[in-house]
């Protein structure tokens, strides 16, 4: 185990009421610091910070929000304000009929057959990452930067196989600039002011993403002119997709917003999962050794493929335990539309309903020793369905969940089979959530070939 602490790094949750200004400071520093420590013990918490809010950690109530009465709990105004300038009214943000037809159109793109067909791109990216890590020699490597590059290679290739895609460096800079400049909570969000009230920090958001949107529009137009790639990539599949009930196809703007959603979400979240998984492997050398033994027994010296996934159960369990401890989407919010009751608590229209996935995944009533790294919990039995929500659940469960799991296991197995990772003294990552749960300061590890 890590010699400096008995547990992997965690967020310091609130131990006293924060008030409006305290909430603003915490929200801008790290959204997860808004969560009270008691949320890891209680089924529901309620309060008022500008407007009424409820934090829900009870699996039965979460089932009600995400599945049984999903139409009564659309994404909150704050969520839409954060994301719409970047990804428009895409699948992730849209509600009602707009969401439904986009989901029906995109669902075949992420079928098991199509996801499995994309695995060779993931295998090639794992090989390239291995080569870069080996070339770095014995010096420390920031594995977060490396995993961002690796997963961007994957999403670029599966989205634009024809080579006419977005410039990776330009896209990454646009995303980082957007997160730094616009994706933090504002005082107006805390006070619960409506979406039409301008948030000064976000007035430039559309300009920040404008160049990337223009590149995407140009790529879509070029592809329509020259025709699909062989085999088809993600853009081709979306261009060919149509609503099975109405026959409607996506417009250029809808295609672009969904492509940007898949690019941003598809590489950022998997890069984070892999970075945190490698941190945890270095934190726990015994479990890293067990994972390496499993990977080497199956792979030998080659990189992992889709066919290997059923033979790598412990590495998959490591990925799932990583998603429990450091879920990329660690803090979700909804706005109640109708009167309801959750855990016996009255919910009124307009109330903010918070789903603190970070607290749910570390809840003492749902998990044994919840702050510890214990992948075996996913081998011994499956958790209660609405107690483990790294990809959400219900009709709006993440459409790319199987893609992300396949990619993470292929890359992690390949790296653990080839390198022994060890922490760098004084370089512990700090878990901070802005849009996603990121390792502030990077994940600095030494990587020794084995």
Is 398 within any annotated ligand binding site?
A: yes
Q: Which helix (H) or strand (E) holds 439?
A: strand 437-440
For residues 450 and 287, the answer to whether their CB atoms sit within 8 Å is: no
User: Which bin fits 394, alpha (ψ -120 to 50), beta or left (φ > 0)?
Assistant: left
Q: Which helix (H) or strand (E) holds 418?
A: helix 401-418
Write down the pTM of the prediction: 0.90
> Residue 380, CB half-sphere, CA atoms under 13 Å: how many?
9
- What pLDDT, on a 0 to 100 scale, did the predictor assign at position 18? 63
Provide the residue ranges of all domains of the chain, joining segments of one domain with +. 18-449
Sheet containing 332-335, strands listed edge to edge, beginning at the edge strand earlier in sequence: 44-49, 51-56, 352-355, 332-335
- CA nearest neighbour of 295 among 407, 411, 417, 409: 417
- The 8 Å CB, 24+ separation contacts for 213-221 are 213/256, 213/260, 215/166, 215/167, 215/170, 216/166, 216/256, 216/259, 216/260, 217/252, 217/256, 219/160, 219/164, 219/165, 219/166, 220/252, 220/255, 220/256, 220/259, 221/252
Distance (Å, whole) CA 391 – CA 253: 26
For residues 78 and 374, the answer to whether their CB atoms sit within 8 Å is: no
- What pLDDT, on a 0 to 100 scale, did the predictor assign at position 33? 85
Give 10-residue mean pLDDT values along the chain (450 residues). 69 74 67 90 90 94 97 83 74 86 86 90 96 91 94 86 64 70 52 48 59 83 84 84 85 87 84 97 98 98 96 98 96 93 96 94 97 96 94 92 96 98 95 89 96
Q: Which helix (H) or strand (E) holds 275?
A: helix 252-283
For residues 255 and 238, the answer to whether their CB atoms sit within 8 Å is: yes
Give me the active site residues, please: 269, 391, 398
Q: What DSSP letter does each residue of 345-388 carry, written as one string?
A: EEE-TT-EEEE-HHHHTT-TTTSSSTTS--TTHHHH-PPPGGG-
Distance (Å, whole) CA 224 – CA 283: 49
Q: Which CATH superfamily groups domain 18-449?
A: Cytochrome P450 (1.10.630.10)
Q: Which helix (H) or strand (E) holds 431?
A: strand 430-433
- What pLDDT, on a 0 to 100 scale, did the predictor assign at position 97? 87
For residues 354 and 48, the answer to whether their CB atoms sit within 8 Å is: no
> Residue 25, CB half-sphere, CA atoms under 13 Å: how many?
6
Distance (Å, whole) CA 357 – CA 342: 17
- CA nearest neighbour of 405 among 289, 266, 232: 266
- What pLDDT, on a 0 to 100 scale, did the predictor assign at position 191? 47
């Amino acid at each position: 185990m890590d010699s400096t602490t008995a547990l992997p790094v965690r967020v310091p949750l609130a131990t006293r009421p924060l008030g409006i200004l305290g909430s603003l400071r915490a929200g801008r520093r790290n959204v997860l610091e808004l969560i009270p420590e008691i949320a890891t013990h209680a089924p529901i918490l309620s309060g008022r910070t500008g407007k009424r809010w409820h934090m829900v950690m009870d699996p039965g109530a979460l089932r009600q929000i995400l599945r049984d009465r999903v139409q009564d709990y659309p994404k909150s105004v704050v969520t839409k304000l954060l994301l719409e300038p970047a990804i428009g009214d895409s699948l992730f943000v849209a509600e009602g009929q707009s969401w439904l037809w986009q989901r029906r159109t995109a669902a075949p793109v992420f079928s098991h057959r199509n996801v499995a067909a994309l695995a060779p791109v993931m295998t090639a990216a794992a090989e390239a990452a291995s080569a870069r890590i080996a070339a770095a020699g014995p010096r420390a490597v920031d594995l977060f930067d490396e995993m961002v590059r690796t997963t961007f290679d994957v999403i670029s290739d599966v989205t634009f196989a024809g080579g006419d895609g977005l410039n990776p460096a330009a896209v990454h800079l646009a995303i980082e600039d957007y997160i730094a400049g616009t994706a933090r909570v504002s005082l107006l969000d805390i006070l619960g002011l409506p979406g039409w009230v301008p948030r000064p920090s976000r007035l430039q958001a559309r300009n920040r993403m404008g160049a990337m949107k223009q590149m995407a529009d140009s790529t879509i137009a070029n592809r329509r002119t020259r025709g699909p790639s062989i085999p088809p990539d993600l853009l081709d599949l979306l261009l060919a997709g149509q609503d099975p009930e109405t026959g409607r196809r996506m417009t250029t703007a809808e295609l672009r917003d969904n492509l940007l959603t898949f690019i941003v979400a598809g590489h950022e979240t998997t890069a984070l999962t892999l970075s945190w998984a490698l941190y945890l492997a270095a934190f726990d050398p015994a479990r890293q050794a067990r994972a390496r033994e499993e990977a080497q027994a199956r792979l030998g010296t080659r990189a992992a493929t889709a066919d290997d996934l059923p033979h790598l159960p412990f590495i998959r369990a490591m990925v799932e335990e990583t998603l429990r401890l450091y879920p990329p989407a660690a803090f979700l919010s909804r706005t109640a539309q109708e009167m309801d009751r959750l855990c016996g608590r009255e919910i009124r229209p307009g109330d903010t309903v918070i789903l603190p996935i970070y607290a749910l995944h570390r809840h003492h009533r749902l998990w044994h020793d919840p702050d510890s790294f214990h992948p075996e919990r996913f081998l011994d039995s499956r958790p209660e369905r609405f107690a483990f929500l790294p990809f959400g659940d219900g009709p709006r469960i993440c459409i790319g969940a199987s893609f992300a799991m396949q990619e993470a296991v292929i890359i992690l197995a390949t790296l653990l089979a080839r390198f022994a990772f060890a922490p760098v003294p004084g370089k512990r990552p700090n878990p901070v959530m802005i849009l996603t749960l990121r390792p502030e300061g990077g994940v600095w590890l030494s990587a020794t070939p084995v």
